[in-house]
């Protein structure tokens, strides 16, 4: 235990932790590097063997959320990790194992509120002033550890495609949206009044159809009567690029919950270029997009009647 602090301060292979960079700049640097290399970290895990269809999990089984989901997916992709579990150095010891000597941790973000309470207030009172702060810490994939229980191994297997998916149809129907079929385009009306989809038979598989539908439902959540996100008017403008990024991340988060692929129509180079430009101009864009996507995912899951983990980011 004497070397605990030294172990925890190991440099991450994925992110420049220079104190000259803000937390937002460090996160953006990590995600932008993958996007510019042609890899979307929210897509690759679905193409990496048994890692498919899994959210990154804490040692207690609760999923990470928001931007940390992307950072851990990116690390899993880069390093070929198969287990969905991530632990701190101490967490691995508490679980009965240990981080393997020489392994490097993955840098993630914790958000909290710092404040100072008035002396007249009791312990449960709210602080008289508060500010949001971000701090960082390192976690290790279970694949980087020895001696952990078998339960920390691979737990998410890719389900077999078996034809029509009435289970998914029933879940999306619970949202009560006006979904219309016909034509060769998938889109959500800008005011969120309806979703237009090609017929299911026009897709390669039922999963591809519902993955695309999930993307359009992500846009649907942004309507003024729902989550009220401001959207762009045409391809190429800044707000349009940001909204498409939110929808892409939402469908990835939702796909991890429902077992859906996310390698669909929004993967072409023009979208990736617009996202890269957005991230270069706004260092907090990816963090904000991940946060908005998590809210949209939670909104959809609640509408489907599914449990939403309320764990911290």
Q: pLDDT at position 300, please?
A: 98
Q: pLDDT at position 288, please?
A: 92
Q: pLDDT at position 209, please?
A: 92
Q: pLDDT at position 18, please?
A: 56
Higher-confidence position of 94 and 133: 94
Q: How do the domains of the chain map onto residue ranges?
A: 12-152, 166-303
pLDDT tens per residue, range 21-71: 788 888 888 888 888 777 777 775 444 344 444 789 999 999 999 999 999
User: For residue 308, how many C-alpha atoms fall within 13 Å in the half-sphere facing its CB?
Assistant: 17
Cα dihedral across residues 53, 57, 61, 64: positive or negative: negative
Q: pLDDT at position 276, please?
A: 83
pLDDT tens per residue, range 180-225: 999 999 999 989 999 999 999 998 888 889 999 999 999 999 999 9
Please give the model's pTM, rounded to 2 decimal places. 0.81
Q: How would you write the chain as a 3-class SS string?
A: CCCHHHHHCCCCCCCCCCCCCCHHHHHHHHHHHHHHCCCCCCCHHHHCHHHCCCCCECCCCCECCCHHHHHHHHHHHHHCCCCCEEECHHHHHHCCCEECCCCCCEEEEEEEEEEECCCCCCCCCCCCEEEEEEEEEEEEEHHHEECCCHHHCCCCCCCCCCCCCHHHHHHHHCCCCCEEECCCCCEECCCCCCEEECCHHHCCCHHHHHHHHHHHHHHHCCCCCCCCCCCCCCCCCHHHHHHHHHHHHHHHHHHHHHCCCCCCHHHCHHHHHHHHHHHHHCCCHHHHHHHHHHHHHHHHHHHCCCCCCCCCC
* Position 161 confidence tier, pLDDT thresholds 50, 70, 90: low
Cβ partners under 8 Å of residue 176, min gap 6: 303
Higher-confidence position of 250 and 270: 250
Is the pLDDT at 153 greater than 90? The verdict is no
Q: pLDDT at position 192, please?
A: 94
Is the pLDDT at 11 greater than 80? The verdict is no
Q: pLDDT at position 265, please?
A: 45
* Position 138 confidence tier, pLDDT thresholds 50, 70, 90: very high
Q: pLDDT at position 43, please?
A: 72
The chain-wide mean pLDDT, for the chain, equals 80
Cβ partners under 8 Å of residue 261, min gap 6: 46, 207, 208, 211, 255
Q: pLDDT at position 119, please?
A: 43
- Helix axis angle, 206-220 relative to 166-173, nearest 10°? 10
Give exposure, 151-182, as e/b (b: 16+ Cβ within 10 Å).
Answer: ebebebeeeeeeeebeebeebbeebebebeee
Task: Calculate mean pLDDT across residues 75-93.
Answer: 91
Q: pLDDT at position 180, please?
A: 98
Is the pLDDT at 131 greater than 80? The verdict is no
Weakest mean pLDDT among 11-15, 158-162, 275-279: 11-15
* Phi, then psi, of 184 in degrees rounded to 5: -120, 20
């Amino acid at each position: 235990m004497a070397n605990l602090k030294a172990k925890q301060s190991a440099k991450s292979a994925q992110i420049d932790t220079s104190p000259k960079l803000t937390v937002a700049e460090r996160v953006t640097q990590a995600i932008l590097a993958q996007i510019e290399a042609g890899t979307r970290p929210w897509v690759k895990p679905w193409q990496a063997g048994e890692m498919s269809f899994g959210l990154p999990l804490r040692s207690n089984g609760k999923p990470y959320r928001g931007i940390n989901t992307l950072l851990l997916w990116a690390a899993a992709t880069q390093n070929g990790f198969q287990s969905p579990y991530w632990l701190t150095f101490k967490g691995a010891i508490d679980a009965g194992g240990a981080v393997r000597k020489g392994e490097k941790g993955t840098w993630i973000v914790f958000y909290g509120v710092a404040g100072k309470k008035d002396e007249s207030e009791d312990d449960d009172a709210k602080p008289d002033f508060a500010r949001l702060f971000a701090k960082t810490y390192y976690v290790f994939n279970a694949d980087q550890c020895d001696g952990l229980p078998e339960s920390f191994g691979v737990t998410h297997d890719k389900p077999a495609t078996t034809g029509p998916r009435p289970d998914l149809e029933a879940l999306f129907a619970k949202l009560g949206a006006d979904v219309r079929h016909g034509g060769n385009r998938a889109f959500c009306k800008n005011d969120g009044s309806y979703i237009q989809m090609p017929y299911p038979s026009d897709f390669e598989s039922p999963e591809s159809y519902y993955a695309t539908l999930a993307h359009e439902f992500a846009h649907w959540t942004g309507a003024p009567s729902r989550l009220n996100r401001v959207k762009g008017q045409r391809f190429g403008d800044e707000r349009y690029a940001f909204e498409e990024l939110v929808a892409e991340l939402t469908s990835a988060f939702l796909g991890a919950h429902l077992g859906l692929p996310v390698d669909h129509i929004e993967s072409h180079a023009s979208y990736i270029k617009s996202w890269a430009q957005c991230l270069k101009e706004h260092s907090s864009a990816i963090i904000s997009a991940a946060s908005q996507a998590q809210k949209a995912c939670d909104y959809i899951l609640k509408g489907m009647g599914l449990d939403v983990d309320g764990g911290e980011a």
